[in-house]
Copies of this chain bind each other. A is one copy, B any other.
């Protein structure tokens, strides 16, 4: 009749530390980082924590909420310092920070990108909305009209996320066989239909994401700036 855990003393020491939302999410992130989103099942997570899977429901309503929590946790590493008055430099810095985050947790990116699509803005985890608020705040405090701030934010964040998706798509998982493997992938394509793509194989292999992101940001921000200042002139007369 005794339960399978015969090692009472040991269990006692283990069990002394109760779970917490943070520890659960941290472990969940570990699993996702290691094996991808699909590998994060309630049972596996429970096992990794040495607890019954059902105990997890104390810390997240369901699996979807757990995934939201993971996304939130990752985004918490982002910070934007409000003291710097140079908004363009700030946004550029933030872009690179997010890029590095994404590269550090590539398996989380699908969550960052997909979850908001199925959650109305106001219902998102607060941690997810914080960057948005901070950017708006930054822009407004450097003189933008709120409406323009929103405009800038949308273009900026749009481009940023798009770039990340692009870059991660081309991200090679096994950089060892780098070019060869890449070519091998492309080799499968019918030459008649995809001559350009195949010819660009070497260039694809030496993709510098950071550089590309930086240039895009530059174009976008200066473009936005001039667009807005021009528009202001028109309004004044």
Residues of A that sit less than 8 Å from B by CB: 36, 106, 109-110, 113-114, 116-118, 120-123, 126, 129-130, 132-133, 136-137, 140, 146-147, 149-151, 154-155, 157-163, 165-166, 168-170, 172-173, 181-182, 184-190, 193-197, 199-200, 203-204, 212, 215-216, 219-220, 222-224, 227
Contact = CB atoms under 8 A, between A and B. Distances in A.
A116 B169 contact: yes
Given A129-B197, A151-B212, A122 B184 contact: yes
B216 A185 contact: no
A150 B220 contact: no
A114 B122 contact: no
Task: Give the number of copies in the complex.
Answer: 2
Contacts of A137: 195-196
A36 to B, nearest CB: 8
Question: What are the 6 A-B residue pairs with the smallest beta carbon separation, nearest first?
Answer: A122-B185, A162-B162, A219-B223, A158-B162, A136-B196, A158-B163
Given A106-B117, A122-B182, A149-B196, 12 more contacts: A109-B117, A113-B113, A129-B194, A133-B194, A150-B203, A151-B212, A154-B166, A158-B159, A158-B166, A159-B159, A161-B166, A215-B227
A192 B204 CA distance: 46
Nearest to A173: B120
Given A126-B193, A155-B216, A200 B161 contact: no
A137 to B, nearest CB: 5
Given A136-B197, A146-B203, A212-B154, A168 B117 contact: yes
B162 A121 contact: no
A129 to B, nearest CB: 7
A206 B203 CA distance: 42
A192 B181 CA distance: 52
Contacts of A160: 162
B113 A196 contact: no
Nearest to A227: B219
A219 B219 contact: yes
A147 to B, nearest CB: 5
Given A117-B109, A146-B200, A197-B132, A165 B170 contact: no
B162 A122 contact: no
A190 to B, nearest CB: 8
